[in-house]
Each structure stands twice: as C-alpha cells, then as structure tokens.
Chains A and B, each alone.
Chain A
Amino acid sequence: MSTMPLYEEAAGRRRAPLRRLVSGLEPYLYIAPSVVLIAVIMLVPLTIGLSYAFRDMQLINPFSGGFVGLEHFRTLWTDAAFWLSMRNTLVWTLASVVLQFAFGLVLALLLNNSFPGRGVIQALVFLPWAVPTFLSGLNWAWLFNPVVGPLPHWMAALGILPAPENILSDPHLAIWGPIVANVWWGIPFFAITLLAALQSIPQDIYEAAAIDGAGAWRRFIDITLPFLAPTIAITVMLRTIWIANFADLIIVMTNGGPADQTQIVSSYIFTQAFRRLDFGYASAIAMVLLGLLLAYSFVIILMRQSLLRR
C-alpha cells in the first residue's frame, strides 16, 4: 500500500470498498477447497440420506418416493422391535466397551514391563485387530456351535451352562456371543493406544514417587491414571461410537435373531434397509441414532476439555 503512487489516490479510494470485501473474503477463499470437498463428499450424501427419513422410500415399490412428513417417526415411536434394539444397543455397547477397556488396560500394563520375548507377545496380542471382522464373527459362531466348537462343552463342564447348547440360539444369552467376539477383536485397540500413552510417561516421575513413599498401587492411582486420563477419554468415546454402530459381528453371528432378540439399532437399520428394502424407515431410525451419538460425543468432549483444563 505504501508504494502506491500519489496520483492514483482517487482511484484507490473508489476501489476501497471492493478491496475491503476481497481482503475480508480472503481467508474463506483459502479454506474453500476443503470446505467444498467436505460438502460434496460428506454433507451432500448425508443430507440426501436424511431427507429419505421424511419420504416414503421403498425399493420394491416404484410408485413410492412421496413426502410423508413425520410418519416414519410416529411408527418408530410405537415399534417394539426398535425399542428392544435400543436396549440391546445399550447392553452391547456398554459391555463391549467396558470389557475391551479393562482387558486392554491390563494388557497394556503387562506389556509395559520388559520381559524376555516381549516383542513376540506384543505382535501376537495385536493379531485379532488384523483379522477381518467377518472372519472373526464366523470363527466365533463356530466356536459357540456345539457340533464343531469346544466352547459350549467347556462352559457346560464349568457349570456356566446347564447343557452344551449354542448360546447364539438362546434368546436371553444370544447377545453375549457377539459381545465376546467383539471384546476379543477390540482389545488390541485399547492395548495399543494405552501402551503408547503409558510409554510416554517419563520414568523419573515414577522414581520420584517411589522415593516420596508411593507403593505400586499409589503410583498407579496418582501418576499412571492422571497421565492416561485424556487418552482414556478419547479412546472410550471413539470406541463407544464405533461399537454402537458396529453391526458386522451381529449380522454374521446371529443376524439379529433369534426373533430380533439381538438386534441393535444399527443392525436394525441394516435389516430395514437391505432386507425389507424400506429405505425411508431405515433413514428415520438412522437419524435418531445419529442424534443420540452426536449428543453423546458432545457430552464427552465437554468432559474431556474440563479434564484437560484441570
């Protein structure tokens, strides 16, 4: 600006509002490419998908597609199968996350000590993560099958089951089949992330605490946990959302059955959309699930922030 010749001053003044506009827009122009990309790739399909929730979309009915307003949501409100799937989602998510986290933490603490053969064990521990979910679902389905798998016989021998039967066909127990498979499959995630966090804790802080008079348990409570807290918060939040949406194992192992007893919301959406081909209704359920998970993430992020600020 300072190099502008004097005789152009008038012209410069006339262009000033335009210049101000351009310089005001400048930052937005820089982020425009990513905004456009996000909009095209994520927001557009999302909006179209959500719009189905208010329309009558049935693949087998070529005359469907009309706007039905809140009709789907009214149906949903009285749909017993939906409410059952909500309850199942809660059990499925809570049990899976808690067990995965607990075993993952124990494993990470064990792997954080050095012992001979640690490298090999570490690699083995992370193996389940590399197994495709469908394969592990099939595997576990066979393990629970009394004809080919050992688990029912072992559980019967231990007195957990009255007889060596397939728990996947027991309406009350079936949900625990996919939960066990999910825990087995998901432990490595917690083990990896928590181990990484553990290894970032400076050793001399433990030494200082030991000299200050803290035994192993106090060191865990006063040093390890506070250092792990942010990682725990973020991983638990991520896993909760993934697991709540994670229908693969259920579809493979029980297909939501017997009699919709193991249906979680996302598998119910899958069933509505791809088995009953009712995309409109499926979208309405998906929209409810989205709202719930958004609310959940929001709460967790607030909690994490207040934790970090402390």
Chain B
Amino acid sequence: MASIDIQGVGKSYGAVPVLHEVDLSIQDGEFVVLVGPSGCGKSTLLRMIAGLEGITRGDIRIAGRVVNELAPKDRDIAMVFQSYALYPHMTVRDNMSYSLKLRGTPSERMAQVVNAAAAKLGLESFLDRKPRTLSGGQRQRVAMGRSIVRKPKAFLFDEPLSNLDARLREQMRVEIKKLHRELGTTSIYVTHDQVEAMTLADRIVAMNAGAVQQVGTPLDLYERPTNLFVASFIGSPAINVLDGTLHGDGERRFVALGSGETMPVSDRIQGRDGQAVRVGVRPEDVQVSTRGEGDHTGQIELVEPMGLGTILHIRTVSSALKAFVLERAHYQIGTDVAFSLPAPKLHIFDAQTGQRLPDQAVSP
C-alpha cells in the first residue's frame, strides 16, 4: 500500500499532446476513479503510472519515490486490463500464481495464497481450466485474482467491467468495492461509466481533453460541478442547460432566458449585470406540476418511464428540457404542464469560459 503523487505530468506522442499538466495526489488506501469521455487520456495516465508508457514531463511518485525511470516490474503495482490480458496458455492457477513464481515464492505458500484468492472470488472450481474455457465474468475474476495474490502497492483498473453485461457489471462493481474495503489497497480505476465512478469512488477525477477538470467526492462533483463539462458529464439523465443573461436590479438577481422569461437565482451569485450565462438544472430539480403551479409552462413532448421514476421531455417556447419525477402520475403526451426551477438548485456558468460563477458563501 502506498500513496501516489502525480506532479505536473504531461504526455505527448511526437508533437501531439495527449495529457497537459496533470496534478493529482492519491492518499494511501484511497479509491480514486478517473472518468471522462473516450480519448481524454485516462488510459494513458494509468499506463504511465504502471510504467507501460514513458512520461514526457513531470514526476510520478509511488510511496514517495520517483518512479519515472522504473520498469513496470519494479513498481510493485498490479493492473487489471479491459481485455483481461490473461495468459491463454496457462491454467487459471498458473495465471494467478505467475507473479508469485517470478518472485520465487515457495510452492506451498503459493498454493495457499492462490487458493485463498480463488475462494474469495469464487474461482475454486476453475483453477485447472484454461482462460478460453471461461465466461467473460469468470475471466474478469481471474484477472482480479491475479492482481490481489501478491499484495501490490496499488491496483490499477482500466475499464475492467466494460466487457460485461449490465447485470454482471453491477454485481462486479459491488464486489470490487467490498474487496477494496477488505484489502484497503490504494486503487485507481478508469471508467467512462459515471455510475461506476459515482458508486465506487472515494474521490472522482473528471478529465477532458487531457486535462483534469475537477477532483472531488462524488457528491461534490454532482452538486457543485466546477464547469459545464463536469456538470453535463456527471449525472444521468444529463443536466439541462439553458442559455440566458444574468441581471441584477438592486436586491433581486435573475436570469433572463432568450424567450424573455425570467427566473430568480440566488443572491449570492457573483456576476456582472448583462453577463451571458448558461444555467444548468438537474432533471430531478425541475419541479413539475399538473395543476398549473409553476413559474414556467411547457408541453410534454415525450415520456420515458424508468420504473424508479419517469423522465418527462418538456418543450417550452424557447427551449427543451428534461424533468425527472418520482410520482407515478400518468402524464399524457401533449398536455400542458407548469414547472418551476428552484433558485438554490440552479448551477450558473459563464457562457464563454464554461466556468461556474463564484458564489458569495465561499468568499466571506
């Protein structure tokens, strides 16, 4: 177990920059999830930590020691690949014990450790089989087993669940979380699935286009996204974004939408009068009423029942937005509804930079 420090790390392939100035400190025993859209450099960062890619700029420290020039085998970390990368010519047992064998572990000890790991992962009956005779989920477990047997300083996971079906993914997600609680090993987990990110992480690192956007607890990112990218990447169904202009006439602050409608916003929002802004509101924060109680009106365009609740697509004069409602009311397509957007739940971003407007509560 160890802490991992990433300082000013950058990566370029030839002249093409892929990662810019990544700073990240991961504490001993922490479970950190790197999340971001495809191609943003998550795998690249992970592979740099593992030693599979060179580091163009900056330093990576594992347990306080700079590992930039260290070969993967000397970094004492374990990695679970998206493809599992099991050794196809070895049995499950040999796959799991390979790293121990390379370290010259006595064979009784090796058998003991492998059996314990197999028992933990429910792999006892597969130990003498070849990986090709296993199902995807079983292979995934073998890949996990291979990394836990030698108690590495850290686990690196690169989208380990993305080849599994939704049901199995959910189950493995829980098992990974349990395993982490049991072993307490520092873990870095890459995914583009934000549900996985939210449920597993102690802290989430949201990345986009090779740069870290925000680091924080799952709820931090959900409730106080630092910019539009994070706001729209985290959360499902995705956040609604409306264009408008910020106004403040003395006491009251409000946002005027393109249609001329206005909505009040928190007084604490810092911004210029007349500043172009984008307003984010999560679907579950849209308060819909069929009895006409609300500041805005619109028409129901589409209804998506989800079991737990219902997603309503509402078209207003100037825009479209989604609302997530829990009650089982029977919404008809085409009916008019009223809704309101509660001021404290609105996320206001600068239209140009996409950055969240500061609010007063933070600065005394």
Contact = CB atoms under 8 A, between A and B. Distances in A.
B219 interface: no
Given A212-B98, A214-B73, A218-B102, A207 B52 contact: yes
Given A207-B72, A207-B81, A213 B103 contact: yes
B85 A208 contact: yes
B40 to A, nearest CB: 20
Which of A209, A218, A226 has the largest number of chain B CB atoms within 10 A?
Answer: A209
B224 to A, nearest CB: 36
A211 B70 CA distance: 11
A210 B52 CA distance: 9
A171 interface: no
B323 to A, nearest CB: 44
Contacts of B83: 202, 204
B98 A222 contact: yes
B77 A211 contact: yes
B257 to A, nearest CB: 50
A214 B81 contact: no
A204 B87 contact: no
B146 interface: yes
Contacts of A184: none
Interface string A184-223: 0000000000000000001011011111111100100011
Question: Main SS of chain A's interface residues?
Answer: helix
Contacts of A223: 87
Given A218-B102, A222-B98, A211 B89 contact: no
B99 interface: yes
Contacts of B75: 211
B161 interface: no
A211 B77 CA distance: 7
Which of B52, B73, B103, B146 has the largest number of chain A CB atoms within 10 A?
Answer: B73
Interface string B90-113: 000000001100110000000000
A103 interface: no
B87 A207 contact: no
A218 to B, nearest CB: 6
A208 B81 contact: yes
A215 B73 CA distance: 7
Contacts of A213: 73, 99, 102-103
Contact of A210 (B72, B89, B146): B72
A70 B152 CA distance: 73
Question: Main SS of chain B's interface residues?
Answer: loop
Nearest to B78: A211
B50 A211 contact: yes
Interface in B144-181: 146
B151 to A, nearest CB: 13
Contact of A205 (B78, B87, B99, B102): B87
Instruction: For the complex of A and B, list the 10 residue pairs with the smallest distance between their C-beta atoms, beginning with the closest.
Output: A212-B99, A208-B85, A204-B85, A210-B72, A213-B102, A213-B73, A226-B89, A211-B72, A211-B79, A207-B52
Interface string A43-81: 000000000000000000000000000000000000000
Interface of B: 50-52, 71-73, 75, 77-79, 81, 83, 85-89, 98-99, 102-103, 146
25 contacts: A202-B83, A204-B81, A204-B83, A207-B81, A208-B85, A208-B86, A208-B87, A208-B146, A209-B87, A209-B98, A210-B51, A210-B71, A210-B72, A210-B73, A211-B52, A211-B75, A212-B102, A212-B146, A213-B73, A213-B99, A213-B103, A214-B98, A215-B73, A218-B102, A227-B89
Contacts of A215: 71, 73
B319 to A, nearest CB: 46
B71 A205 contact: no
B74 to A, nearest CB: 8
Nearest to B99: A212
Contacts of A207: 50, 52, 72, 79, 81, 85
Contacts of A204: 81, 83, 85
Contact of B85 (A202, A218, A222, A227): A202
Interface in A206-251: 207-215, 218, 222-223, 226-227
A210 B77 CA distance: 11
A305 B71 CA distance: 38
A187 B157 CA distance: 42
Given A209-B87, A209-B98, A211-B72, 12 more contacts: A204-B81, A205-B85, A207-B52, A207-B85, A208-B81, A210-B52, A210-B71, A211-B73, A211-B79, A212-B98, A212-B146, A223-B87
Contacts of A212: 73, 78, 98-99, 102, 146
Nearest to B83: A204
A223 B86 CA distance: 11
A223 B94 CA distance: 13
A222 B88 CA distance: 11
A214 B102 contact: yes
B79 A208 contact: yes
A105 B328 CA distance: 70
Contacts of B50: 207, 211
Contacts of B79: 207-208, 211
A212 B152 CA distance: 10
A214 B104 CA distance: 12
Which of A202, A212, A214, A218 has the largest number of chain B CB atoms within 10 A?
Answer: A212
A210 B73 CA distance: 5
B190 to A, nearest CB: 14
Nearest to A210: B72
A225 B87 CA distance: 13
Nearest to A227: B89
A204 B50 CA distance: 13
A226 B50 CA distance: 25
A97 to B, nearest CB: 25
A309 to B, nearest CB: 11
Contacts of A218: 102
